Amino acid sequence: MTPRPLVLCLILLVLAAGLANAAEPWTVTLTDGKTCTGTLVRLAAGRYLLQTDTTLLELSDDDLDARTFSVRSRQDAVPERPVHEIRHYEELHADGTVTRWWTRRMVNEGRRAITEYRFGLAPHEQPLADQRAYRDGFGNALVPVYDPPRERWSSPPQGRVQVTLPLGIPVAPGEEWSITGSETSPRIARGDAGFMYRNAGDYAEDNLVWLKVRLPRGASIRTITPQPSARFTQDGQEYVMWRRFYKQGEQFPLEIVYTLD
């Protein structure tokens, strides 16, 4: 039966209101009485991530006061897409280039072998596509297939590009597996305060991001924004690390300003 126009309009209004409500920040009350405001995401039954402006918290049902879900439905914390985990390691060089490695670790939770891996390229990632190399967890090179094809990409980039990596070694049901990508590109800006490294986010999917940055030898850090999850020195070089959840397309810059001796 086809809905009448008035009924259809009411359905669309309800759906729009639900999507707007899901995008609003959460006010979360913990069992210790503390209140936090941010993005709440349910990873699985009884497991949550709460991302505030400065802190990422991993929570269970036992950590949440009942008042949290008396105001908003628990269903509002369910993401539209699966939350992926991605780990970055980036080496900053004195010439202003950055060598980036990223790894996704996954588990084949299906009943069939996996023979390809698919993900999206956001517009700001597309100019780097020709410089990227991909490998599986055994070190085998993977050749990407793009949709739309590479020759049909718009300039400047607009919209998401689908990437498919055919796997030379199938992934068995229940098997853990990983994909690693890498590229080197000029990404350091220079200003009056010194050199600036910046990762703005803007991922093509919802991502739990681990980002570890190694600064050039002789670097002196002036500012780090926001407060990092960790900072340490090894073999005379500074390392900075963040851990943060990003919604699809969200931009929240992670920045380091430094000088070179």
* pLDDT tens digits, one per residue of 98-112: 999 999 999 999 999
What is the SS3 assignment for 62? Answer: helix
Q: What is the pLDDT of residues 220-252, one digit of tens each?
A: 999 999 999 999 999 999 999 999 999 888 999
C-alpha triplet 253, 254, 260: angle, nearest 5°: 125
pLDDT of 23: 65
Angle 34-35-36 (CA atoms, 0-180°, nearest 5)? Answer: 125
Helices (H) and strands (E) in the chain — how many of each? 2, 19
Determine the pLDDT at residue 36.
Answer: 92
Cα→Cα distances 24→21, 155, 214, 215, Å: 5, 33, 35, 36
Q: Are 189 and 195 in contact (CB under 8 A)?
A: yes
Q: What is the pLDDT of residue 10?
A: 38
pLDDT (0 to 100) of residue 20: 40
Torsion of CA 46, 51, 57, 58, to 10 degrees: 30
The two three-digit tokens of residue 202, written as one number? 């803007």
User: 232 is written with which tokens?
Assistant: 């340490």
Q: Most distant CA pair in the chain: distance in Å?
A: 73
Distances (CA, A) of 140 to 63, 109, 143: 43, 23, 10
- In the sheet that holds 56-60, the strands lie side by side as 26-29, 35-44, 47-51, 56-60
Q: Quote the pLDDT of residue 4.
A: 53
Say what the pLDDT of residue 172 is: 98
Q: What is the pLDDT of residue 104?
A: 92
What domains appear along the chain, each with residue ranges and CATH number?
5-77 (2.30.30), 82-96+187-261 (no CATH)
Query: Which segments of the chain have a pLDDT < 50?
Result: 1-3, 6-21
CB 239 within 8 A of CB 228: no
